[in-house]
């Protein structure tokens, strides 16, 4: 299974080592599902931390 990569230049996710849009090298996305456009992402991450008792 390929790692999800992220292009900070285009602010987009891809599985390629190079961004299909701009051709620049991508970086490994951490966390994989994070998106600044996902307004519920932060809530979900906090809920996950509470599940693990880390909050
Ligand atoms: Zn790009």
Query: pLDDT tens-digit profile of 1-55?
Result: 678 899 999 999 999 999 999 999 999 987 645 566 666 667 777 888 788 876 5
What is the distance between the alpha carbons of residues 48 and 52, in angstroms, rounded to a whole number? Answer: 6
- pTM for the model: 0.50
- CB atoms within 5 A of ion ligand 1 belong to 7, 9-10, 19, 21-22
What is the distance between the alpha carbons of residues 31 and 9, in angstroms, rounded to a whole number? Answer: 18
Residue 12, CB-side half-sphere exposure with 13 Å CA sphere = 13
- Residue 43 CA to ligand 1 centre (angstroms): 28
Beta strands in 1-55 (DSSP E): 5-7, 12-14, 27-28
Looking at the DSSP bridge assignments, the partners of residue 6 are 13, 27
What is the CATH architecture of 5-51?
Answer: Single Sheet (2.20)
């Amino acid at each position: 299974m390929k790692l999800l990569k992220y292009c900070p230049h285009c602010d987009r996710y891809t599985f390629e080592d190079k961004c299909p849009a701009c051709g620049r090298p991508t970086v490994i996305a951490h966390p994989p599902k994070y998106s600044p456009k996902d307004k519920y992402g932060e809530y979900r991450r906090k809920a996950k931390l509470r599940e693990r008792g880390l909050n």
